[in-house]
Amino acid sequence: MTRAWRWLIPLSAVPVIALLAYGFRVNPRDIPSPLVGRPAAEFTLATFSGEPLALESHRGKVVVLNFWASWCYPACYEEAPVLERNWRAYRDRGLVVIGVDIQDTAEAAQKFIRQFGLTFPNVRDVDGKVSIEYGIYGVPETFFLDRQGRIRAKHVGAVTDEVFRREVEPLLSEGASATTPTGASARPTGADS
């Protein structure tokens, strides 16, 4: 056997080891959403007071669509004050935060809303259809929608002030009549970014 052959066998293991090394470094919870760049699915869900809320009625505003549950501790507890604070700060600039409570009981969810004094609209997704429509695989997950109702980014995990600002500022600065952006600028945001 030639010298080249002697090297070929150990060398063939290199790509396999490289693939394994890559696999172990990737966060399996970070799943890119195919919905980023696509128009957000319309829905109408009831708020806790029983009034219907249609996503469509907020067209023209930047929408922060947050999927949460009262049992989601600590991430949902960490981000609730962040969402409330930023909703208050940005609402006059044409932004709305909509909370979608999933896989929860009305009592526990209402207690959560009272605990954090949430004033932005919150709806209940009782049968999970909207959650599945948005490809939710855990809580919290947050979508950032532009004024045209297109999903521009998805954030998995608790939203921080920094994430909120980073995602929302460029969307707010786009005019309501701005041309539809290309999918190239849309991307999912990492859970720990």
- Interface contacts to another protein, rule CB under 8 A: 1, 5, 9, 12, 31-35, 103, 127-129, 131-138
Residue 26 CB partners (closer than 8 Å, separation 6+): none
Q: Where are the alpha helices (DSSP H) in the chain?
A: 3-25, 75-90, 106-116, 129-133, 161-173
Q: How far is the CB of 35 from another protein (least distance, A)?
A: 7
Judged by beta carbon, residue 71 or residue 162, the one nearer another protein is 71
d(C-alpha 175, C-alpha 136), whole Å? 29
Q: How far is the CB of 132 from another protein (least distance, A)?
A: 6
Judged by beta carbon, residue 1 or residue 17, the one nearer another protein is 1
Q: How far is the CB of 179 from another protein (least distance, A)?
A: 25
Q: How far is the CB of 116 from another protein (least distance, A)?
A: 24
Q: How far is the CB of 31 from another protein (least distance, A)?
A: 5
The closest of 130, 114, 113 to 122, measured between CA atoms, is 113
Q: Is the Cα torsion angle 142, 145, 149, 151 positive or negative in sign?
A: negative
Residue 76 CB partners (closer than 8 Å, separation 6+): 68, 69, 70, 112, 139, 140, 158
DSSP-derived secondary structure letter, 22: H
Judged by beta carbon, residue 97 or residue 139, the one nearer another protein is 139
Judged by beta carbon, residue 71 or residue 193, the one nearer another protein is 71
Judged by beta carbon, residue 108 or residue 178, the one nearer another protein is 108
Q: How far is the CB of 12 from another protein (least distance, A)?
A: 8
Judged by beta carbon, residue 2 or residue 177, the one nearer another protein is 2
